[in-house]
Amino acid sequence: MRADPWAALQRRRQRRHWRSWPWGWIALGLSVGAWACAFALMVLVLASVGMPGDGNHAMQATRLPMLGVLCVAATTVSGCLLAAGLSLRLPHRPVAGAMALGLLALLVVVMVVPSLL
């Protein structure tokens, strides 16, 4: 006995439901999240600068939040790269995916250029 062709078609649609997601907007949101993580990291670094003679107590106090922000930033950037790649590959909002990649490239330039000077 053969399986119902309509049920097979429905199973195929359920397996590929992620293809219709708005990957460009997801990538753009994740790139803005990466910028927010960079800002939060900057605030934490500036907060860890303590008074002279304080030792490293301020740095120790902000160590765990810094590691948390770094983990969130790494997850956000890798998710943004994945979503931008999917948005460029699939025909769903490739312009937003390209804008997300542009924002990530600008973030890399902002982070790397001051260390080169």
99 CB-contact burial (10 Å; exposed 0-12 / middle 13-18 / buried 19+): middle
Write down the pLDDT at residue 56: 75
Write down the pLDDT at residue 83: 93
Write down the pLDDT at residue 15: 65
Write down the pLDDT at residue 16: 65
Query: Which whole-number Å values give the CA distances from 69 to 21, 27, 76, in the listed order?
Result: 27, 19, 10
Query: Which whole-number Å values give the CA distances from 9 to 16, 19, 24, in the listed order?
Result: 11, 15, 27
Assigned token pair, 13:
């649609």
Distance, in Å, from the CA atom of 71 to the CA atom of 26, rounded to the nearest integer, reads: 19
Per-residue pLDDT of the chain (117 residues; tens, 9 = 90+): 467 778 777 777 666 666 777 888 999 999 999 999 999 999 999 888 877 776 777 788 889 999 999 999 999 999 999 999 999 988 777 899 999 999 999 999 998 888 887
110 CB-contact burial (10 Å; exposed 0-12 / middle 13-18 / buried 19+): exposed
Write down the pLDDT at residue 2: 63
Write down the pLDDT at residue 13: 67
What is the model's pTM?
A: 0.79
